[in-house]
C-alpha cells in the first residue's frame, strides 16, 4: 500500500496534535505525576488511532467525507464514536486499571488497522456511491409502497409503546413476548427503523421525477421525525446515526462537500441530542419510568428542562460515564477473566444464540432468547450486567488476539468486495440487503455474528415483498400497454 507524502505528513501532524491535547488534558485533570508509562502508552495508542481516523475522513480543503463514496471513512467515523470516545472516558475517569487500558487501546488500534488492511486488500473501488445509477419506475413504485408500509408500521410501533407506557427506552424492560405479533413488532419493525432511511434515499434515484420527489420529501420528514423520536425516548447512538444516515442518503442524488461550517452544524445537532438525552437520564429516569404519560413528560422536559439540568452540578455524573464506558469496562472484565485462567470461548456463545435468528412462526417453541452479552458473562462467570458486547469484545472473547486480527481483516476484505459487487448492480433489489447490512455494521455496540444473520432474515422478507410488488406493477403496466 502506497501512502502519499501529503497524507503521511498529515498523519504525523494529527498524531502530534492529538497526543499533545490528550497529554495537556491529563495534566489539567490529574497533574503531571499521573503520567506513568502505562498511561502514556495508552495515550500513544489512542493518539495513533485518532490521527489514523482523522487522516482518512478529512480531505484537502478541510472537507469532511463520511459518505458511502469512501466506505472506509464512513466506517471509521462510527468506529471512533463507539470505541475511541468511550476509551477516552475510561482513561480520564480511571475506571479500569492502567494495564488493561493500555491493552484495550492497543486492541482498538490493532482492530481498526486490521479492518483497514482487509478493505484495502479487497481493492475496493472508491467511486461515487449510486451517483450514476437510476432505477426503473416499476422498482421505484414497489419500493415506495414498501417504505410507506414501513413508516406506518413504525408509527404503530411507537403508538404501542406509548399506549403500554414504555416509550422511554430505559423503561422498556419487560418479559419477551413469544407470540407472532409481538415478534414482528419487537424484532422486525424495530430493526427496520434505520435501514428505512437508506431505502428512502434509494427512491431519490428512481428514473421517475414524481417518485424521486416523493422520496426526497419522505426522506427528510422521516429522518427528522425518527431522530426526534429517538431523542425523546433516550436512544443516543441511534439518534446520531439517523442524522448521519440522512447526510449519507442526500449524497446519493446531490453532490456536495461537507465543509467545516456544515460539519459544525451537524456537530452542534449531535451535541444537542446527546445533551438532551443525558439530561433526561440524569433528571427524569425514575420519573419517566413511573410516569403515566412518558411521551408528554419527555417532551415537556426536552423543551423546558434540558439546559438547566446539565448546568447543575448536583447530580451523579458516574451514571452517565458508566453507561458510555460499558463496552470498555466489559472488555476489561474479559481480560481479567483470561488472566484468571479462563480460555477464549471459541464460538460457544455464538452457537448458543443461533436459535434466536429462526423466525417464531417457523419455530413456535423457540425459547426466550438471552442477550448475547449475558450469555458471554454467564460462560465467564461474570455478574449479569447488560453491557454492550461489540465486535471487538466478541472477536476477542471468542478467539483472543488472533480473533481480533482475523475477524476485522476478513470483515474488511468482505465489506470491500461487497461494495465492489454493488457498484455493478442496476436494480434496487441488492441495495435492499445493503440498507440492512450497513445499518447493522455501524451499530457497533451490538453483537455482530448473530445480528448479521438476523439482518439477512429481515432483509429477505423485505426483498420477497419487493419482488411480488415489482411483478404486480410489471403485469399491470403490460396489461395497460396491450389495451
Predicted pLDDT of residue 217: 96
Predicted pLDDT of residue 1: 40
Predicted pLDDT of residue 304: 59
| Percentage with pLDDT > 90 across the chain | 35
**Mean pLDDT for all residues in the chain:** 81
DSSP-assigned beta bridge partners for residue 232: none
Banded model confidence at residue 442, pLDDT cuts 50, 70, 90: confident
What average pLDDT does the segment 457-480 reach?
82
Q: In 10 A of CB 53, how many CB atoms?
A: 22
Q: Which residue has the higher pLDDT, 368 or 316?
A: 368
CA 228 to chain centre: 17
Strand, helix or coil at 23?
helix
What average pLDDT does the segment 45-71 reach?
84
What average pLDDT does the segment 6-30 reach?
85
Least confident range from 69-78, 326-335, 345-354, 401-410: namely 345-354
Instruction: Kindly give, in sequence order, each residue whose CB lies less than 8 Å from that of residue 185, ignoring residues fewer than 6 positions away.
Output: 156, 157, 160
pLDDT tens digits, 254-296 = 876 666 666 667 766 776 666 666 666 655 555 666 666 666 6
Predicted pLDDT of residue 253: 86
Banded model confidence at residue 178, pLDDT cuts 50, 70, 90: low
Least confident range from 53-67, 101-115, 283-297: namely 283-297
H helical segments located in 291-371: 294-304, 306-311, 317-324, 326-339, 348-353
Q: How far apart are CA 52 and CA 76, in angstroms?
A: 9
Predicted pLDDT of residue 258: 66
pLDDT at 483 over 90: no
Instruction: Tell me the CB-side half-sphere exposure of residue 173, using CA atoms within 13 A.
Output: 5
Instruction: Record the cell numbers describing residue 347, joined without a space.
Output: 464460538
Predicted pLDDT of residue 10: 81
Q: Which residue has the higher pLDDT, 79 or 3?
A: 79
Predicted pLDDT of residue 5: 45
Q: How far apart are CA 244 and CA 250, in angstroms?
A: 10
Measured in degrees and rounded to the nearest 5, phi and psi for residue 173 equal: -125, 85
Predicted pLDDT of residue 70: 84
The phi-psi region of residue 59 (left if phi > 0; otherwise alpha if psi is between -120 and 50; otherwise beta) is beta
pLDDT at 128 over 50: yes
Least confident range from 39-48, 153-162, 182-191: namely 182-191
pLDDT at 171 over 70: no
Roughly what angle, to the nearest 10 degrees, separates helices 5-30 and 85-93?
30
CB 99 within 8 A of CB 116: no
Q: Which residue has the higher pLDDT, 47 or 358?
A: 47
Predicted pLDDT of residue 38: 87
Banded model confidence at residue 479, pLDDT cuts 50, 70, 90: low
What average pLDDT does the segment 77-106 reach?
89
Q: How far apart are CA 157 and CA 8, in angstroms?
A: 49
What average pLDDT does the segment 75-98 reach?
88
pLDDT at 200 over 90: yes
Predicted pLDDT of residue 334: 93
pLDDT at 176 over 60: no
Handedness of CA 326, 327, 331, 332 (dihedral sign): negative
| Residue entry with cell 482498538 | 108
Predicted pLDDT of residue 35: 75
Beta strands in 93-159 (DSSP E): none
Q: Which residue has the higher pLDDT, 291 or 145?
A: 145
DSSP state of 368: P
pLDDT at 309 over 80: no
Predicted pLDDT of residue 16: 93
Domain-wise residue ranges, the chain: 5-121, 137-482
Banded model confidence at residue 415, pLDDT cuts 50, 70, 90: very high
Predicted pLDDT of residue 446: 75
pLDDT tens digits, 7-17 = 677 889 999 99
Instruction: Record the cell numbers describing residue 267, joined without a space.
Output: 456537530
pLDDT at 6 over 60: no
pLDDT at 146 over 90: yes
Amino acid at each position: 500500500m502506497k501512502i502519499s507524502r501529503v497524507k503521511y505528513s498529515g498523519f504525523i501532524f494529527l498524531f502530534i496534535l492529538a497526543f499533545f491535547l490528550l497529554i495537556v488534558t491529563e495534566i489539567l485533570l490529574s497533574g503531571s505525576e499521573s503520567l506513568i508509562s502505562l498511561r502514556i502508552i495508552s495515550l500513544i495508542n489512542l493518539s495513533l488511532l485518532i490521527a489514523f481516523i482523522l487522516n482518512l475522513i478529512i480531505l484537502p480543503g478541510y472537507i469532511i467525507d463520511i459518505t458511502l463514496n469512501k466506505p472506509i471513512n464512513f466506517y471509521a467515523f462510527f468506529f471512533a464514536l463507539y470505541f475511541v470516545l468511550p476509551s477516552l472516558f475510561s482513561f480520564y475517569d480511571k475506571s479500569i486499571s492502567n494495564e488493561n487500558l493500555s491493552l484495550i487501546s492497543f486492541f482498538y488500534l490493532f482492530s481498526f488497522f486490521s479492518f483497514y488492511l482487509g478493505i484495502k486488500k479487497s481493492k475496493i473501488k472508491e467511486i461515487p456511491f449510486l451517483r450514476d445509477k437510476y432505477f426503473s419506475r416499476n422498482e421505484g413504485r414497489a419500493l415506495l409502497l414498501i417504505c410507506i408500509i414501513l413508516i406506518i408500521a413504525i408509527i404503530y410501533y411507537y403508538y404501542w409503546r406509548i399506549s403500554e407506557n414504555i416509550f422511554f427506552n430505559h423503561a422498556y424492560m419487560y418479559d419477551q413476548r413469544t407470540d407472532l405479533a409481538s415478534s414482528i413488532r419487537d424484532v422486525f419493525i424495530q430493526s427496520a427503523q434505520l435501514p428505512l432511511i437508506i431505502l428512502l434515499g434509494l427512491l431519490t434515484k428512481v428514473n421517475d421525477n414524481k417518485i424521486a420527489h416523493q422520496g426526497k420529501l419522505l426522506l427528510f420528514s422521516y429522518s427528522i421525525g425518527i431522530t426526534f423520536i429517538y431523542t425523546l425516548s433516550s436512544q443516543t447512538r441511534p439518534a446520531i446515526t439517523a442524522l448521519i444516515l440522512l447526510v449519507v442518503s442526500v449524497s446519493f442524488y446531490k453532490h456536495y462537500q461537507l465543509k467545516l461550517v456544515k460539519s459544525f452544524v451537524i456537530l452542534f445537532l449531535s451535541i444537542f441530542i446527546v445533551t438532551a438525552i443525558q439530561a433526561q437520564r440524569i433528571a427524569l429516569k425514575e420519573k419517566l419510568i413511573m410516569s403515566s404519560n412518558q411521551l408528554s413528560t419527555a417532551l415537556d422536559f426536552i423543551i423546558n428542562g434540558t439546559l438547566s439540568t446539565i448546568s447543575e452540578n448536583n447530580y451523579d455524573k458516574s451514571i452517565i460515564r458508566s453507561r458510555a464506558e460499558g463496552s470498555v469496562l466489559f472488555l476489561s472484565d474479559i481480560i481479567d477473566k483470561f488472566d484468571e485462567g479462563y480460555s477464549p470461548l471459541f464460538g460457544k456463545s455464538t452457537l448458543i444464540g443461533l436459535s434466536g435468528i429462526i423466525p417464531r412462526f417457523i419455530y413456535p417453541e423457540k425459547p426466550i432468547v438471552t442477550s448475547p452479552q449475558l450469555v458471554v458473562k454467564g460462560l465467564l462467570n461474570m455478574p449479569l450486567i447488560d453491557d454492550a458486547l461489540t465486535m471487538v469484545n466478541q472477536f476477542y472473547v471468542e478467539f483472543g488476539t488472533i480473533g481480533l486480527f482475523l475477524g476485522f481483516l476478513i470483515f474488511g476484505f468482505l465489506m470491500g468486495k461487497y461494495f465492489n459487487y454493488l457498484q455493478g448492480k442496476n436494480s434496487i433489489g441488492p441495495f435492499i440487503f445493503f440498507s440492512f447490512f450497513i445499518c447493522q455494521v455501524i451499530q457497533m455496540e451490538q453483537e455482530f455474528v448473530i445480528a448479521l444473520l438476523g439482518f439477512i432474515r429481515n432483509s429477505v422478507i423485505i426483498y420477497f415483498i419487493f419482488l411480488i410488488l415489482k411483478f404486480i406493477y410489471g403485469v399491470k403496466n403490460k396489461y395497460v400497454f396491450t389495451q
